[in-house]
C-alpha cells in the first residue's frame, strides 16, 4: 500500500507543477495570487473534512504552527511567480533542492546527524543547481529563442528567473526546518516558542492558514484590483490545487507506512515534472541544462534515500 501512496504523491505533485505552470500566464501579473486562491480553497475544504472526521484543532495550534506555515506559503508564492519567467523544466528541479538546505540547517542548528549519504546528496544538489544557473544565464538570446519556438512561450534571460526558484528552495527549507522542530516531541530548540504538534493537527493548521491567505488574495485581486475571473484561463489552477492537496495527503501516509521506501520515490517527482513539461508544454532545453538537471535529480534521490534510512 505504501508504494501506491508514494506513487500517488509523485504523480499528484508533478501534476500540480504541470497545471500550475499552465495556469501561470506570463501576461497576468496576478496569476500567483489567483493560484493562492485556488490552493487555499481546496486545502480549506480538505481541512474541513479532516475536522469533521475527528481531527481536533484550536486557534493556538494554528499559531504554534505559523512559523512553518508562513515559510511554506511564502515559498509557494515565489514559486508561482517564477513560473511566469522560466521553464518548468528549470524551475522544478531548483525548487526541489530545498531538502538539501534543510538538511544543512538541521545539521548546524539542531546538531542532527548528517551521514555520508546525506553529504553526498547535498554536494550533488549544490553542484547541479550551480551549473543549472550557469547554463540558463550564459545561454545566448538567439539560442534561447530558437529552442523556445516549439513551446510558443518566450522567456528573456533574467537573473530574476533564477532568483525566484532559488528563493523558493531557501524559504521552503526554513519551513522544513521549523517542521522538524515543531513535530519533534522532545524538542530542545527554543521550546518556549516552538510547541509540539501531532502531524495531522499541523497539516490542518497549515491548510487553514492557506485558506486565510486565499481570502486575503481574493480581497486584494477581485475586490481591490477588480480583476475578472475567467474560467477558461483559471481552471488549470484549480486542477493544480487539487493535485497539490491530494499529493500532501498521500505523502503523509506513505511516509508513515514506509519512510525508507517512500522517501526516495516521492523525492523524484520533479523528474516527472520535467517529463510532463517536455511532453505537454513542448519545453526543450539545451544539453547543458539536462546534464545539470540530471545531477540535481541524483542528489535529490540520494537525499530522499538518506532521509528514509534515517527514519
Please give the grid coordinates belonging to residue 191.
521550546
Rounded (10°) CA dihedral 78, 193, 186, 75: 0
pLDDT (0 to 100) of residue 264: 67
Domain membership of residue 53 as a residue range: 2-310
Residue 37, all three cell numbers: 486562491
End-to-end CA distance of the chain: 18
Burial 256-282 (b: 16+ CB within 10 A, else e): eebbebbbbbbbbbbbbbbebbbeebe
Picking from 239, 308, 249, 244, the residue whose alpha carbon sits closest to that of residue 280 is: 239
User: Would you tell me the crossing angle of helices 88-95 and 66-82 to the nearest 10 degrees?
Assistant: 160
| Residue-level pLDDT at 208 | 97
Residue identified by cell 490542518 is: 204
**Domain tally for the chain?**
1
Q: Where are the alpha helices (DSSP H) in 106-193?
A: 116-138, 141-147, 159-182
Helix residue spans in 24-65 (DSSP H): 31-52, 59-64
| All cell numbers assigned to 276 | 510532463
Q: Report the chain (311 residues): mean pLDDT per 10 consecutive residues.
A: 84 94 87 95 96 93 93 94 87 82 78 75 82 75 66 65 88 86 71 77 94 97 89 89 92 71 73 87 83 84 70 56
What is the Cα–Cα distance from 130 to 140, expressed in whole angstroms? 18
pLDDT at 261: 64
* Residue 98 confidence (pLDDT): 80
> What 8-state DSSP symbol labels residue 303?
H
DSSP 172-189: HHHHHHHHHHHT-TT--S
Identify the CA nearest to 35 among candidates 66, 7, 90, 75.
75
Burial class (CB in 10 A: 0-12, 13-18, 19+), 70: middle
Length of the chain: 311
Is residue 305 within 8 Å of 264, Cβ to Cβ? yes
Amino acid at each position: 500500500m505504501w508504494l501506491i501512496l508514494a506513487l500517488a504523491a509523485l504523480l499528484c505533485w508533478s501534476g500540480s507543477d504541470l497545471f500550475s505552470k499552465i495556469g501561470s500566464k506570463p501576461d497576468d501579473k496576478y496569476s500567483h495570487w489567483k493560484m493562492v486562491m485556488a490552493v487555499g480553497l481546496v486545502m480549506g475544504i480538505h481541512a474541513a473534512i479532516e475536522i469533521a472526521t475527528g481531527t481536533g484543532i484550536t486557534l493556538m495550534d494554528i499559531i504554534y504552527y505559523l512559523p512553518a506555515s508562513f515559510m511554506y506559503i511564502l515559498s509557494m508564492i515565489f514559486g508561482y511567480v517564477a513560473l511566469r519567467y522560466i521553464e518548468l523544466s528549470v524551475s522544478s528541479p531548483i525548487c526541489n533542492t530545498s531538502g538539501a538546505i534543510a538538511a544543512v540547517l538541521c545539521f548546524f542548528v539542531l546538531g542532527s546527524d548528517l551521514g555520508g549519504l546525506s553529504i553526498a546528496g547535498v554536494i550533488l544538489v549544490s553542484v547541479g543547481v550551480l551549473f543549472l544557473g550557469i547554463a540558463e544565464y550564459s545561454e545566448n538570446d538567439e539560442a534561447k529563442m530558437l529552442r523556445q519556438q516549439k513551446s510558443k512561450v518566450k522567456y528573456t534571460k533574467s537573473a530574476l528567473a533564477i532568483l525566484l526558484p532559488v528563493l523558493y528552495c531557501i524559504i521552503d527549507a526554513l519551513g522544513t526546518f521549523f517542521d522538524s522542530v515543531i513535530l519533534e516531541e522532545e524538542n530542545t530548540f527554543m521550546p518556549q516558542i516552538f510547541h509540539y504538534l501531532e502531524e495531522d493537527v499541523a497539516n490542518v493548521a497549515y491548510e487553514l492558514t492557506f485558506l486565510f491567505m486565499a481570502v486575503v488574495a481574493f480581497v486584494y485581486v477581485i475586490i481591490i484590483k477588480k480583476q475578472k475571473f475567467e474560467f477558461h484561463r483559471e481552471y488549470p489552477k484549480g486542477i493544480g490545487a487539487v493535485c497539490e492537496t491530494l499529493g500532501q495527503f498521500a505523502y503523509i501516509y506513505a511516509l508513515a507506512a514506509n519512510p525508507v521506501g517512500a522517501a526516495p520515490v516521492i523525492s523524484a517527482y520533479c523528474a516527472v515534472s520535467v517529463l510532463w513539461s517536455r511532453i505537454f508544454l513542448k519545453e526543450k532545453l539545451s544539453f547543458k541544462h539536462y546534464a545539470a538537471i540530471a545531477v540535481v535529480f541524483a542528489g535529490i534521490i540520494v537525499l530522499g534515500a538518506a532521509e528514509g534510512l534515517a527514519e
